[in-house]
């Protein structure tokens, strides 16, 4: 069956370090992969999209990689700040309609 896995345990890191979050998937052939940020009680906010033929995408302190062989995406936040504390969701787009399927998210806590 199709599955998207994100680390369900919270990730705690020290301010200034690089946070790395993982999104693994099985039985998908996604054309695109997205990352969103969600704060408690609010709707997710889009961060980055990466295509299947792109290895890496950057935006300011954010970097996303997409390895279709490993069926994995890594999401990095460099020089992390307490304001980066949130839940981060990955989402896959596949199928004729480009149906979006979300992972369960990983909660990141940046400690001052």
Question: Footprint of another protein on this chain (CB under 8 A)?
Answer: 4, 8, 31-32, 34, 36, 41-46, 49, 51, 89, 93, 97-105
| Smallest separation, CB 19 to another protein (Å) | 20
| Smallest separation, CB 77 to another protein (Å) | 19
- Of 36 and 77, CB closest to another protein: 36
| Smallest separation, CB 14 to another protein (Å) | 26
3-class SS string, the chain: CCEEEECCCCEEEECCCCEEEEEEEECCCCCEEEEEEECCCCCCEEEEEEECCCCEEEECCEEEEEECCCCEEEEEECCCCHHHCEEEEEEEEECCCCEEEECCCEEEEEEC
- Of 100 and 111, CB closest to another protein: 100
């Amino acid at each position: 069956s199709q599955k998207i896995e994100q680390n369900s345990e919270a990730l705690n890191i020290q301010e200034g370090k690089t946070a790395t979050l993982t999104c693994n998937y099985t039985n998908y052939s996604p054309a695109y992969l997205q990352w969103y940020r969600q704060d408690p009680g609010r709707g997710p906010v889009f961060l980055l999209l990466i295509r299947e033929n792109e290895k890496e995408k950057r935006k300011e302190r954010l970097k996303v990689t997409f390895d279709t062989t490993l069926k994995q995406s890594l999401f990095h936040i460099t020089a992390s700040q307490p304001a980066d504390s949130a839940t981060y969701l990955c989402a896959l787009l596949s199928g004729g309609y480009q149906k979006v399927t979300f992972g369960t998210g990983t909660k990141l806590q940046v400690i001052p």
